[in-house]
C-alpha cells in the first residue's frame, strides 16, 4: 500500500457516517451509499435463514481486511466457519471467510460484478454469491485465485441461476432455495 492508501485508511476508520448510510473503503476510495431497500434486506434474511447457525457465523455488518489491498468492504452477508476467527476487532481477514454475498443495487452493479469479484478472488474467499434482483438471477463464483490473462485475480467457476432455482453452495454444504427472492 502507498502512503495515500494509508491516509485514506486512517480517514475511513475515523469517518462519522450518518445513520442510514453505508460506507466502504474500496481500493483507496471511500464509497458511501444509502441503506438498502426492503427487497434487498428480505433476500439477505432468506439466505441467513438457510445457513445453519450451529456451523456458521452469518454476519451482516462485518468489514473485511485484505493483505495487499487498500480496501475494507462490508459485504451484504459474510459467512465464517465457527471457530475460524475468535479475535476481537473490526476487521476479519478475507482468507478466514468462506462465503460473501452481495445483493446488487442500482449504484453497486459494477462494483459487485467486477471490482469486488477481483478483490474477493484475490482474498481467496471460497464462494461469492451475487444476487441481482434487477435481473432475477444469482451468480455463484467459486474456486478463487485464478488469474486472468491480464493477471487480475478471478474465480475459475461461475454458475448462473434464475430466481426460483436451487443454488448448491458446496463450500457451506447447503442448497439455497431462491424461490422467495424478490425482484426490482
In this prediction, residue 116 carries a pLDDT of 96
pTM: 0.88
Q: What is the pLDDT of residues 18-60, one digit of tens each?
A: 777 677 778 777 777 777 899 999 999 999 999 999 999 999 9
**61-98 exposure pattern, b = at least 16 Cβ within 10 A, e = fewer:** ebbbbbeebbbbbbbbbbbbeeeebeeeeeebebebbb
Q: What is the pLDDT of residues 99-157, one digit of tens each?
A: 999 999 999 999 999 999 999 999 999 999 999 999 999 999 999 987 877 889 999 99
d(CA 52, CA 69): 31
Distance CA(93)–CA(91), nearest Å, equals 6
pLDDT over 60 (residue 2) = no
- Does 85 or 16 have the greater pLDDT score? 85
pLDDT at 75: 97
Nearest to 74 by CA among 47, 102, 46: 102
Give domain 35-177's CATH number out of 3.30.1300.10, 3.90.1570.10, 3.40.50.2300, 3.30.9.10: 3.90.1570.10
Give Cα separations from 131 to 66, 87, 144, 163, 179 (angstroms). 23, 30, 18, 9, 13
Amino acid at each position: 500500500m502507498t502512503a495515500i492508501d494509508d491516509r485514506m485508511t486512517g480517514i475511513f476508520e475515523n469517518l462519522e457516517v450518518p445513520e442510514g448510510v453505508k460506507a466502504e473503503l474500496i481500493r483507496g476510495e471511500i464509497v458511501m451509499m444509502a441503506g438498502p431497500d426492503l427487497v434487498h434486506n428480505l433476500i439477505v434474511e432468506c439466505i441467513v435463514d438457510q445457513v445453519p447457525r450451529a456451523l456458521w457465523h452469518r454476519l451482516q455488518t462485518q468489514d473485511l481486511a485484505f493483505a495487499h489491498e487498500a480496501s475494507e468492504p462490508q459485504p451484504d452477508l459474510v459467512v465464517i466457519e465457527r471457530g475460524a476467527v475468535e479475535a476481537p476487532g473490526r476487521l476479519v481477514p478475507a482468507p478466514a471467510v468462506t462465503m460473501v454475498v452481495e445483493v446488487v443495487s442500482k449504484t453497486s452493479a459494477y462494483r459487485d460484478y467486477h471490482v469486488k469479484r477481483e478483490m474477493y478472488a484475490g482474498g481467496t474467499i471460497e464462494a461469492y454469491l451475487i444476487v441481482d434482483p434487477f435481473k432475477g438471477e444469482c451468480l455463484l463464483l467459486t474456486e478463487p485465485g485464478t488469474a486472468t490473462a491480464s493477471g487480475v485475480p478471478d474465480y475459475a467457476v461461475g454458475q448462473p441461476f434464475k430466481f426460483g432455482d436451487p443454488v448448491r453452495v458446496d463450500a457451506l454444504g447447503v442448497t439455497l432455495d431462491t424461490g422467495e427472492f424478490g425482484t426490482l
